[in-house]
Amino acid sequence: MRIATWNINSVNARLETVLAWLGEHQPDVACFQEIKCVDEKFPREPFESLGYNVETHGQKSYNGVALLSKLPISDVRKGLPGDPSDEQARYIEAVIEAPRPVRVGGLYLPNGNPLGTEKFAYKLGWFDRLNAHARDLLALEEAFVLCGDYNVIPTPDDARDPSAWVDDALFQPESRAAFRALCNLGLSDSHALGHEPAGTYTFWDYQAGAWQRDHGIRIDFHLLSPQAADRFGGIQTHRQAREMDKPSDHVPVVVTLED
């Protein structure tokens, strides 16, 4: 099973780019972040024509996540548990009904900027809720993957120029500690499992020639439960997607789990 995660930065603005990539690479499952539309405005038909079942958790103009699968989907969850008042569409989860099922959670973790505001507190609170949900999933002792845009730079090695991010919410000690705490529950980062080389980035800002200068950061991850890590078969970061027409500022990351 090949599972992709990709912050597409507006499904309707980049529909042809996303469809072209899907058509070429044909992942079994795709988790999108920042679809930036309500569910009714998500262009389901083009994805269904490629053979995907589609589930969305959208929000007008902002955020929004989607889960696509060529296999049947069950037990769909929309929204991260722990705060019924949270109206931001940032989490979707389902069981992918393969011969050996896998639960997949697609997430768009809050950015948290600017520092010193409620946005950073919301980011850390969301991280706490994700940590609690991951604990509950681990108790099920099943294969699951939590993938998406985590909006955190875990280590200096995950940025071309760490000094440029010292005042950014993505690189604060609290953000990095929250990510470590999540991994320390027993989840494995597929980047490490696959021994990807230093300088494997997943995001380059549109501004200041970041792509041309390779001033990237790694903020898109697949975290695997022990049962999923046992089936890990490889990882590919599709850097070339940043050179497509009308690209997202993120690129897809694809993990393979053996059947």
The answer on whether 7 is annotated among ligand-binding residues is yes
CA 254 to chain centre: 10
CB atoms within 10 A of CB 161: 13
- Annotation marks residue 195 as catalytic: no
Nearest to 104 by CA among 147, 56, 52: 147
Residue whose structure tokens are 């681990």: 138
Amino acid present at 236: Q
The answer on whether 149 is annotated among ligand-binding residues is yes
The answer on whether 97 is annotated among ligand-binding residues is no
The answer on whether 53 is annotated among ligand-binding residues is no
User: Which residue among the candidates 149, 158, 168, 189 is catalytic per the annotation?
Assistant: 149
End-to-end CA distance of the chain: 7
Residue 17 to residue 208: CA distance in whole angstroms = 23
The answer on whether 258 is annotated among ligand-binding residues is no
Residue 199 to residue 21: CA distance in whole angstroms = 23
Determine contact, residues 182/223, Cβ cutoff 8 Å: yes
The answer on whether 151 is annotated among ligand-binding residues is yes
Residue 220 to residue 94: CA distance in whole angstroms = 19
34: which 2 tokens? 């920042």
- Annotation marks residue 149 as catalytic: yes
User: Which residue among the candidates 108, 158, 189, 191 is catalytic per the annotation?
Assistant: 108
Catalytic residue positions, numbered: 108, 149, 250
Task: Cite the annotated binding site for Mg(2+) by residue number.
Answer: 7, 34, 149, 151, 249-250
